[in-house]
A and B are shown apart, each in its own frame.
Chain A
Amino acid sequence: MSTSHATPRETTEGTVYTVTGGDWDEVVQSAVTSDDERIVVNMGPQHPSTHGVLRLILEIDGETVTEARCGIGYLHTGIEKNLEYRTWTQGTTFVTRMDYLTSFFNETAYCLGVEKLLGIEDQIPDRATVIRVLLMELNRLSSHLVAIATGGMELGATTIMIYGFRDRELILDAYELITGLRMNHAFIRPGGLAQDLPPGSVDHLREMIKTLRKNLPEYDALATGNPIFQGRMRDVGYLDLTGCMALGATGPILRAAGLPHDLRKSDPYCGYETYDFTVPTTESCDAYGRFLVRLEEMRQSLNIVEQCLDRLAPGPVMVADKKIAWPAQLALGPDGLGNSLDHIKKIMGTSMEALIHHFKLVTEGFRVPAGQAYAAVESPKGELGAHVVSDGGTRPYRVHFRDPSFTNLQAMAAMCEGGQVADVIVAVASIDPVMGGVDR
């Protein structure tokens, strides 16, 4: 590189420019356009602060990120393809593993889609719907707790991490009590639920809510007013409403930009219109706003869980239609969770027809009339949509999940470019992507 005013010459200490007067703008310009200080940093896919196997490709100039791109696909497991080789009921076992932090939302979106195709939305028992809402709201709490906990950890605020996982543990205990598993439940099934709530679970949940009510204000006390926390979060990862709409960002990102859009209010499902809750928003468009939105949503979710417990009435948890309903309920036997002994006694000892029915429904599955349906739920991360297509067979013809993490992660570049490298971590944490959902 040479200009008429600055002639470079190579020395043992690097290039030396001899400036001989004239136009300094050109000198500055040539320094800016030279590639000396610009490096491309590969962050991830194995990096503790990229939320799983996310690869960030950052072009940095000093401490400033000039370009940021995402590399994804490291956790692609072909779930959508696999679904096409299983029955409709087995599908829940797969979708629950997509975004593994929001299992119940995946299961519900999928089941609502299948039920829409079957035309049985009105036949789902109330108790099943209430339990679905209850589990989803508990799941919103646990997902937001992870978002806040890991987000804090990436800032170096390990206390928030410890607190967050402590409280999430309470919720996972409740899952374990209800579904038998801490993750990957496959509990919500087309037509209802795999199993009713076990005895004592309502009391357990009420106790848990009491503990959580005591614990939630601690996040406020610890972080909300904390000057270091604010210093790291405010005006970082900025994405305004226009950006959100263009990039399709939903969930806390959209609500932190001031738009109170929540599918539970705007396009209610599972009877959400009958619950009393508010949709929190902030106007700050930044990571701090998203933190505040998540914090308030957790409080609202606790309220909804309480309302669910109040309106739980005894009743069936599976549709009455024997052509669709899973023939057996799960029960705990000496060898673990399985078909209830009463049911096995019936099909093996007394009714040949019941045995045939059980065998047909379990191995072959039910047929779903041809067509397509789209069911969307408001997951903790945004709009989670399931596009479900049937060709009239016993297996899904095509299932596509519109995962909010996948869509929201596109906003990473818009949030990070022009900012500091350290702020990339904060911005990505505020998107709260889960790679299981992004890559599926």
Chain B
Amino acid sequence: MTGEQEPRGDERGGEGAVPAARDATGEVIGVRKGMFGAQNGGDTSGYGGLVRTVALPGAASRPYGGPRTGPGEEGVFDEIADELEGALEEQDLLPENAIEKTVVDRGEMTFHVAREHLVRVARTLRDDPALRFELCTGVSGVHYPGDKGRELHAVYHLRSLTHGRLVRMEVSAPDADPHVPSLVEVYPTNDWHERETYDFFGLIFDGHPALTRIMMPDDWQGFPQRKDYPLGGIAVEYKGAQIPAPDQRRSYT
């Protein structure tokens, strides 16, 4: 199991699911060297020279597949993509401008949305009768320092109670310009979720009514869940031996 992903179909899309074709290279987020976490000598295993690329699943191409609603029907993911693209075109917004790429992986569908069109896409996903993603389950920030130019990701999971579907919407911003439009006007539930993501990742949600820290103290410096922020902790002595803090221990990635 290495970082490289075999292009694999949607094997868990249920009975009769259509597999989605996948770009084999994926999205490279980093390169991993060695094997046992020993960076400064001391590794006599012979694995020290290993170099592996870490890549997230890449863009899928049509058909996207997904569970089928009936025999001969197209997969649900194609249905969602068709409806969304159609609805965006009706608003004179070119779908390829708004949606950077679509990833289908492990039976889940992800729209990577350009941040300038995020609010419009979210509103369309919520309001279009064929889409109707009424419930937003909040924002999850992810920091990919190796994904140059798109280091900070905000991930939204949208649930449609009407149609019983779930899609993921992902938007990214560079570290140098950590701005993403706020979705509070579309999904008021994102109020606290965006504050939390701001608190931990420093993503600034433009248009949020009161973007302040929510978990950390108000005068806290830095954004704790970024990858370059240390976990902290102190070494502990146990039966005469020093046990290093968790982030100082050897890692096997």
Contacts from A to B (Cβ < 8 Å): 72-73, 76, 78, 80-82, 84-86, 116-117, 119, 121-122, 245-250, 259, 261, 266-267, 363-374, 376, 383, 385, 387, 389, 391-395, 397-398, 400, 402, 406-407, 409-410, 439
- The residues of A that contact B137 with a CB separation of less than 8 Å are 248, 376, 383, 385, 402, 407
Interface centre among B29, B141, B196, B200 (most CB of A within 10 A): B196
Whether A439 contacts B215 in the complex (CB less than 8 A), given A248-B137, A391-B54, comes out as yes
B224 interface hit (Cβ, 8 Å) = yes
User: Can you name the residue of chain A whose Cβ is closest to the Cβ of B231?
Assistant: A85
**A-B CB contact pairs (8 Å), 20 listed:** A72-B215, A73-B215, A85-B247, A85-B251, A121-B12, A247-B188, A267-B164, A366-B1, A369-B5, A370-B3, A370-B54, A372-B110, A372-B142, A372-B168, A374-B157, A383-B159, A392-B54, A407-B137, A407-B193, A410-B191
Say whether B207 faces chain A, with CB atoms less than 8 Å apart.
Answer: no
Which among A72, A366, A407 is the interface contact of B138 at CB below 8 angstroms? A407
Nearest CB of A to B20, in Å: 14
A383 to B138, CA, bound (A): 11
The one of B106, B225, B251 in contact with A395, judged by C-beta atoms closer than 8 angstroms, is B251
Residues of B within 8 A of A259 (CB): 161
Convert B156-175 into 0s and 1s, putting 1 for each residue whose CB lies closer than 8 angstroms to a CB of A. Answer: 01010100101010000000
Contacts A373-B106, A391-B253 known; list 17 others, CB within 8 Å. A80-B200, A247-B188, A248-B190, A364-B252, A369-B5, A376-B166, A385-B138, A391-B3, A392-B52, A393-B252, A395-B251, A398-B140, A402-B140, A406-B138, A406-B192, A407-B189, A410-B191
Interface residues on B, range: 35 or more
Asked if A248 contacts B142 (CB within 8 A), the reply is no
Interface-centre pick from A248, A267, A373, A395 (highest chain B CB count, 10 A) = A248
Residues of B within 8 A of A119 (CB): 11-12, 106
What sequence of 0s and 1s flags, for each residue 210-253 of chain B, a beta carbon within 8 Å of any chain A beta carbon? 00011111000000110000010000000000000011010111
**CA A406 – CA B197 in complex, angstroms?**
13
Contact yes or no, B189 A410, CB < 8 A: yes
Q: Could you count the A-B residue pairs with CB atoms below 8 Å apart for me: how many are there?
A: 150
By a CB distance below 8 angstroms, the chain A residues around B141 are: 400
Asked if A392 and B140 make an inter-chain contact with CB atoms under 8 angstroms apart, the answer reads no
A392 to B6 alpha-carbon distance, docked (Å): 13
Contact B214 A371, beta carbon cutoff 8 Å: no
Bound Cα distance A267, B196 (Å): 27
How far is A81 from B247 in the complex, measured between Cα atoms in Å? 11
Docked Cα-Cα span, A363 to B161, in Å, equals 42
Question: Contact at A387–B140, with CB atoms within 8 Å?
Answer: yes
In the complex, A391 Cα to B191 Cα: how many Å?
29
Residues of B within 8 A of A250 (CB): 135
Interface residues of B in 125-168 (CB under 8 A from A): 134-138, 140-143, 155, 157, 159, 161, 164, 166, 168
Q: Are B161 and A247 within 8 A (Cβ)?
A: no
Contacts of B5 in A (CB 8 A): 369-371
* Docked complex Cα distance between A164 and B246 (Å): 40
A266 with B253: CB separation less than 8 A: no
Rounded to whole angstroms, the CA-CA distance of A245 and B191 in the bound complex is 14
Closest-CB distance, B128 to chain A (whole angstroms): 16
Contact A387 B57 (CB under 8 A): no
- The answer to whether A410 touches B192, judged by C-beta atoms less than 8 angstroms apart, is yes
Q: Is the Cβ of A117 less than 8 Å from the Cβ of B3? A: no
For A82, what are the chain B residues with a Cβ–Cβ distance below 8 Å? Answer: 231, 246
Chain B residue numbers with a CB within 8 Å of A117 are: 106
Residues of B within 8 A of A374 (CB): 108, 157, 166, 168
